[in-house]
């Protein structure tokens, strides 16, 4: 089986390396696109099925992954939520031979297969209807009908409770440097939320039209959301502790010059690069608590904090250095500021000796003996028997601490 896949991979690699779209006609390009899409769907189905099989064993945990979904996400370069959906779909397809066959034949995308399998799991009679719909409807239409069929076969109170339990807001920075926001919750809360945003968007639209400006509806919705949360329409801060905290990292030379050049940075920790003028704008806002981490290259040469006690200096540097867990490949939020040298032994809190860890990786370190390799910032976490484990690696003299609190 593996040899056949290796052969297919090699053949596809040769084809991809030599494929030159400029040398084929539009009709041929359409045919190639359709065939490549089917191959992509087939491969995704096989990948998910293989990952689901591995999830049935303990193999996925040998490299320290938090769950099978985290393992698949790391290996495939996808999000954890996407990987989890693929694993759940693969499990459901075992009981849905018709949908499974369509997915293996490349006639269904992973998203289509997931929608059908999810609905058919609640209402088996829906499978045939949804498979027929998938041949002619858009993905959005298929998802809508699948949701209707699932809702009709599910207790509405249980479904509402389950959706409420899974509520979340997530943000990320896209490959183009843009900030993105996603949320999940019950439809009643969503309807109330959108009604408020749309009402504000209507006001902004009328104001823009009076000024002779024309922008897409989505742009006014975005402006309305920002206005309601951050602007004049938002409630006034209740007190000092309610102000938003923004960690800005900027090279000293860039700050003085007004713009970064090659090798310098000016960014908001956890989000991405921003112009130096944005930093100035943040400083000018009265409702934002600013922590500016001034650096030269990778070294922190100063931490400017407004209105905070000295212990906040270390935290600001750490929040810049670790916008997420220090473990390489883990994007979970920091839950613990972990002491490399146990505090009960050192009785000091030193910046160079602290790492930001999520709960999962902190438990691995505390309960199973895993450890980050020597260094600062993002780096691998290895098991106790790994040669790179600090316990096994050649001891290096630690530099004197820069600060203690």
Check whether 238 has a pLDDT greater than 80: no
Would you say residue 225 lies in a domain? Answer: yes
The residue out of 230, 248, 266 marking a domain boundary is 230
Q: What pTM was computed for the model?
A: 0.64
Claim to verify: residue 37 and residue 150 sit in the same structural domain:
yes
- Residue 254's φ and ψ, nearest 5 degrees, are -65, -40
Claim to verify: residue 300 and residue 395 sit in the same structural domain:
no
Check whether 85 has a pLDDT greater than 50: yes
Percent of the chain past pLDDT 90, that is, above it, reads 45
The residue out of 154, 181, 213 marking a domain boundary is 154
DSSP run (H or E) holding 305: strand 299-305
Domain that holds residue 381: 324-405
Determine the pLDDT at residue 256: 74
Asked if 107 and 38 touch (Cβ cutoff 8 Å), the reply is yes
Claim to verify: residue 51 and residue 76 sit in the same structural domain:
yes
How do residues 302-360 score in pLDDT, each as one tens digit?
554 433 333 566 777 788 788 889 998 888 888 888 888 776 775 666 677 789 999 99
Residue with tokens 């400083």: 283
Helix axes 126-134, 139-152, angle to 10 degrees: 170
Between CA 355 and CA 339 the distance in angstroms is 7
Residue with tokens 């499990």: 91
Q: How far is CA 224 from CA 6, 25, 174, 234, 245, in A?
A: 52, 46, 22, 10, 22
C-alpha of 87 from chain center: 18
Claim to verify: residue 400 and residue 342 sit in the same structural domain:
yes
Angle at 366 between CA 364 and CA 369, to 5 degrees: 65
Q: How far is CA 337 from CA 15, 24, 181, 372, in A?
A: 49, 57, 27, 13
Percent of the chain past pLDDT 70, that is, above it, reads 83
How do residues 177-233 score in pLDDT, each as one tens digit?
899 999 999 988 888 888 889 899 999 999 999 999 999 999 999 999 999 988 765
Average pLDDT of the segment spanning 25-52: 95
Check whether 42 has a pLDDT greater than 90: yes
Please state the domain count of the chain: 4
Determine the pLDDT at residue 275: 82
Between CA 43 and CA 37 the distance in angstroms is 10
Would you say residue 1 lies in a domain? Answer: no
Claim to verify: residue 404 and residue 307 sit in the same structural domain:
no
Claim to verify: residue 132 and residue 206 sit in the same structural domain:
no
Question: Which position has the higher pLDDT, 363 or 342?
Answer: 363
Question: Which position has the higher pLDDT, 333 or 240?
Answer: 333
């Amino acid at each position: 089986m593996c040899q056949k896949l290796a052969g297919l991979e090699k053949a596809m690699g040769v084809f991809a390396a030599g494929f030159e779209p400029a040398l084929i006609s539009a009709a041929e390009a359409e045919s190639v696109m359709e065939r490549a899409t089917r191959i992509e769907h087939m491969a995704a189905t096989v990948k998910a099925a293989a990952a689901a099989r591995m999830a049935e064993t303990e193999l996925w945990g040998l490299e320290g992954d938090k769950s099978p979904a985290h393992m698949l996400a790391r290996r495939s370069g996808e999000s954890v939520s996407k990987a989890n959906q693929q694993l759940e779909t693969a499990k459901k397809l075992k009981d849905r031979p018709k949908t499974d066959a369509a997915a293996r034949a490349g006639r269904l995308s992973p998203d289509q297969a997931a929608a059908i399998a999810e609905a058919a799991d609640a209402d088996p009679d829906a499978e045939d209807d949804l498979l027929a719909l998938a041949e002619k409807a858009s993905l959005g239409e298929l998802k809508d009908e699948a949701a209707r069929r699932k809702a009709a076969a599910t207790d509405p109170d249980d479904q509402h409770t389950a959706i409420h339990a899974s509520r979340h807001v997530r943000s990320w920075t896209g490959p183009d440097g843009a900030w993105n926001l996603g949320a999940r919750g019950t439809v009643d809360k969503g309807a109330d939320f959108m009604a408020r945003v749309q009402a504000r968007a209507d006001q902004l639209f009328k104001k823009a039209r009076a000024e002779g400006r024309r922008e897409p509806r989505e742009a006014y919705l975005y402006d309305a959301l920002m206005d309601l949360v951050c602007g004049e329409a938002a409630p006034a801060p209740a007190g000092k502790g309610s102000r938003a905290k923004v960690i800005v990292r900027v090279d000293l030379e860039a700050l003085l010059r007004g713009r970064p050049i090659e090798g310098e940075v000016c960014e908001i920790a956890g989000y991405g690069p921003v112009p130096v003028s944005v930093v100035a704008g943040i400083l000018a806002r009265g409702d934002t608590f600013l922590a500016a981490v001034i650096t030269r290259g990778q070294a922190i040469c100063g931490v400017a904090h407004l209105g905070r006690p000295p212990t906040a200096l270390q935290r600001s540097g750490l929040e810049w250095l670790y916008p997420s867990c220090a473990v390489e490949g883990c994007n979970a939020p920091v839950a613990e500021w972990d002491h490399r040298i146990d505090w009960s032994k050192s009785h000091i809190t030193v910046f160079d000796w602290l790492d930001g860890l999520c709960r999962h990786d902190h438990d691995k370190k505390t309960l199973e003996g895993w450890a980050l390799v020597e260094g600062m910032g993002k780096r691998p976490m290895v098991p106790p028997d790994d040669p790179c484990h600090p316990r096994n690696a050649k001891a290096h003299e630690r530099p004197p601490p820069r600060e203690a609190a």
